[in-house]
Amino acid sequence: MTSPKKLKKKKYTKRYSICVVGAGHVGLVAAACFAELNHKVVCVDSDEHRIQSLKKKKLPFYEPELEPLVKKNIKSGNLSFSSALGEGIKKSEVIFLAVGTPPQVDGSADLSSVENVARIVARNLDSYKLIVEKSTVPVKTGRKVKEAIHRYKKSNVDFDVASNPEFLREGKAVYDFFYPDRIVVGVESKRAENILKDIYASLKTPLIVTDINTAELIKHASNSFLATKISFINVVSHICDLAGADVEKVSLAMGLDKRIGKEFLQAGIGYGGSCFPKDVAAFIYIAKKLGYELNLLKEVENINKEQWIRFVEKVKEHLWILRDKKIAILGLSFKPDTDDMRCAPSVNIIESFINEGAHLILFDPQAQNQAKKIFKTSSKLKFSQDPYSAVKDCDCLCFLTEWDQFHKLDFKKIKKLMHYPFIADGRNMFDGDALRKLEFDYIGMGKL
């Protein structure tokens, strides 16, 4: 379990009463982890069904290590769940906003939930409170939250607004909370700064103090940079395909340069999830509103789209006609260790194959239920309970998510089960030469 033993031995400077608004990925992880740091936490969500399930210790999504943390902290009394926002606010000194900020058609973030919570905070402001944005929000949102609270508050009670962007990754969220590379706090007062420093006192990590606008911008800049890094290596993978070179060796050699770093240089079918696509679009929108055309990031988006299209083209080039071909898809989630299908490149690829008239058999270790909400079972699309029954009589086996367990597959068995032994590796997971030795046809993304 990730929860660091060392932290538990540390003396806590102060135990805060915290209300986390929103029991989504960011909110629920933050609530459970703050509770583990010995703060008294109530996690509030307007979705009554979700709250009832959480009270019964049932989690609304899969996230490694989260369930035991939730159970443990409910038992200790540090963590509770409620749908009564007003009460949660009144009971707490610090309120973290972790509500959804979904993208709109123009790329801008829908901030209506943030504004709604700000109004409810204002109505329940009965003593000093620190209101902290944790959701990813456009620069200047903190100022708007402050204005909204001023507008709706009934008494002359003091409050602060701060920004504390979250950098956790799905699938590694609990680890990332306890071992972050940095904590960013955007504040306007020493009081707010000290509270946030206190809350995180037991985590040994650099804590960067900025103004609110800067903290908000750091989050969009960080996610956009990481997305750019992925699109950069994906472009290189395209050039490697054209030149007959190997992107894996290119990224290995590039990554050893400390100034570049080896993380996020894995070429493949492109980034997905609820963050990068949304945040890149939002940053383009924010920049435009401020008077700057962020063409760099527009190209990052274009390249990302090209990758899954290129993958489909490569499979077509190999199989010639896709109509009535049987294709097995292993891996559906946007990345391993999550059941999240939001903006997963697998969705676009599957739709393209269906449009070409292929028959598909899908398997994912965790995202099967989420995938069933997107794709209905039909004569052309079926789900399989295990990888081996998925590949039976197939003309092509596509790997679209690099789940660890796929490395343990028995490829000799797979070869016997398939109609035609062709592997299309969308995540460059495998050693092409090793598979070719087993007499598979093998293609990756920009690799030999």
Q: Is 272 in the site for ligand UGA (CB under 6 A)?
A: yes
In the complex with ligand UGA, which residue's Cβ is closer, 129 or 335? 335
**Cα pseudo-dihedral 186, 191, 193, 197, rounded to 10:** -150
In the complex with ligand UGA, which residue's Cβ is closer, 119 or 262? 262
Q: Which residues neighbour 359 within 8 Å (Cβ) at sequence distance 6 or greater? A: 324, 325, 326, 327, 379, 380, 381
In the complex with ligand UGA, which residue's Cβ is closer, 40 or 134? 134
Tell the smallest beta-carbon distance from residue 415 to ligand UGA (Å).
Answer: 27
Tell the smallest beta-carbon distance from residue 84 to ligand UGA (Å).
Answer: 27
Q: Which residues neighbour 70 within 8 Å (Cβ) at sequence distance 6 or greater? A: 28, 32, 54, 57, 59, 79
Indicate the burial class of 154 (C-beta count within 10 angstroms; 0-12, 13-18, 19 or more): exposed
Kindly tell me which residue out of 20, 137, 275, 282 binds ligand UGA, with binding defined by CB under 6 A: 275
**Residue of 19, 275, 343, 396 marked active site:** 275
Q: Is 223 in the site for ligand UGA (CB under 6 A)?
A: yes
Q: Which of residues 157-196 bind ligand UGA (CB under 6 A)?
A: 166-170
Kindly tell me which residue out of 276, 283, 308, 442 binds ligand UGA, with binding defined by CB under 6 A: 276
In the complex with ligand UGA, which residue's Cβ is closer, 159 or 403? 403
Q: Which of residues 229-258 bind ligand UGA (CB under 6 A)?
A: 230
In the complex with ligand UGA, which residue's Cβ is closer, 23 or 168? 168
What gap in Å lies between CA 270 and CA 272, rounded to an integer? 7
Please, are residues 326 and 397 in contact by the beta-carbon 8 Å criterion?
A: no
Q: Is 330 in the site for ligand UGA (CB under 6 A)?
A: no
275 catalytic? Reply is yes
Q: Where are the beta strands (DSSP E) in 292-394?
A: 326-330, 359-363, 381-383
- Count of residues engaged in binding ligand UGA, rule: CB under 6 A: 21
Q: Is 228 in the site for ligand UGA (CB under 6 A)?
A: no
What gap in Å lies between CA 193 and CA 360, rounded to an integer? 54
Q: Is 334 in the site for ligand UGA (CB under 6 A)?
A: yes
What gap in Å lies between CA 187 and CA 198, rounded to an integer? 14
* CA atoms within 13 A of residue 209's CA, in its CB half-sphere: 12
Kindly tell me which residue out of 12, 175, 264, 411 binds ligand UGA, with binding defined by CB under 6 A: 264
Tell the smallest beta-carbon distance from residue 341 to ligand UGA (Å).
Answer: 11
Q: Are strands 422-425 and 159-163 parallel, antiparallel or unpaired?
A: unpaired
Please, are residues 398 and 350 in contact by the beta-carbon 8 Å criterion?
A: no
Q: How many CB atoms lie within 10 A of CB 417?
A: 19
| Active site positions, annotated | 275
Site for ligand UGA, rule CB under 6 A: 136, 166-170, 223, 226, 230, 264-266, 268, 271-273, 275-276, 279, 334-335
